[in-house]
Structure 1
Amino acid sequence: MSPRSTAWGAYTKIASALRERIRSGAVRPGELLPSEAALSAEFGVVRNTLRRALAQLESEGLIESLPGRGRVVRPADEQGAGPARPKPPQYRQIAADLRSAIESGELAAGAALPSEATLTARYGVSRGTARQALADLCGAGLVESVQGKGWFVCGG
């Protein structure tokens, strides 16, 4: 076998090994699985093979994918209930929270919005996710960016 080939059905063996880790408690509910790169190296397979194993566990409802974070073990009471319902992207939740603060008057016209760094820390997301939320609000005409200053509520 060449060094780049993978044994037929290797993904099922990987899925079984990861399933056993979940069932034994080695990886607890709510805990992130190791990265794709780390698992690929551990099992000696290419990422596509690993992704197939992870997709199998996801279809069984044992894990779910959290965009921007990775794959996490589902709570025990939700395991086996089939795939998790897709959650809306996190940037939409951030944008909805900021929109609510603007519409309620908590953030008045001309007020500065929390910085990207503050949003990333508050929501546990990447800076790109925070930027996407702000861009969504900008596209709706609710906020504007001032170069070098930050984001502000329009109308001030």
Structure 2
Amino acid sequence: MTNPSPRGTYLTISEALRARIAEGAYPDGLPSEAEIGREFGVARTTVRRALRALEEAGDVTTVAGVGRQVGGGSQVAPYKRIMTELLDRIRTGDLPAGARLPSEAELSESYGVARGTVRRAVHELEGAGHIHARHGVGRFVGPAS
């Protein structure tokens, strides 16, 4: 068994990551917990404590479906992007009232995301009343969306 890391190691890691953030080293988001753990030779729980310290300080934010981003980043969760784009198509008339939406599989392939991501976006639009499902037939744009 390897020696446990000394107390406060997470603070050292968070400071190292904070310095890299200030240098602009992570424009596309922070590396995964596993990658950070390998780099610093620590357990994932130590990495999580370091990242939590950065989040509490506002240096890092977590975006569902995207990962950890530098605070104030403009990344949007993929399901929200899909929702926004479908809603724009509905509002511009590209998908008029009564039009059938592409299937989950088609949307998944066109957006390059998992079906669960598409399903979440579509479910949110259904909940807002913009589309409705007909069992065994498909999903359709609701009236006056």
Assess same fold via TM > 0.5: yes
Structure 2 residue 11 is the aligned partner of structure 1 residue 35: no
- The offset of 1:23, in angstroms, is 2.5
Aligned to 1:94: 82
Figure out how many residues of one structure are paired with residues of the other and give that number.
137
- The offset of 1:146, in angstroms, is 7.1
Aligned to 1:130: 118
In structure 2, list runs of 5 or more residues that go unmatched.
Answer: none
Q: Which consecutive segments of 4 or more residues in structure 1 shift more than 6 A?
A: none
> Is contact 1:94–1:130 with CA below 8 Å preserved after alignment?
yes
For the residue of structure 1 that corresponds to 2:42, the secondary structure is coil
- Structure 1 counterpart of 2:82, one-letter code: I
Distance 2:13 2:34 in 1: 14
Give the aligned CA root-mean-square deviation in angstroms: 3.2
> Is contact 2:37–2:44 with CA below 8 Å preserved after alignment?
yes
In structure 1, list runs of 5 or more residues that go unmatched.
Answer: 75-83
Instruction: Give the TM-score normalised by structure 2.
Output: 0.70
Percent identity of the aligned residues?
A: 35
Aligned partner of 1:112 among 101, 104, 108: 101
> Is contact 1:146–1:152 with CA below 8 Å preserved after alignment?
no
Residue-by-residue CA offset, 1:51-106 (whole Å, 9 max, x unaligned) = 111111122222221211111224xxxxxxxxx5xx98553453344245335533
The structure whose residues are more often helix, as a share, is 2
Instruction: Give the TM-score normalised by structure 1.
Output: 0.66
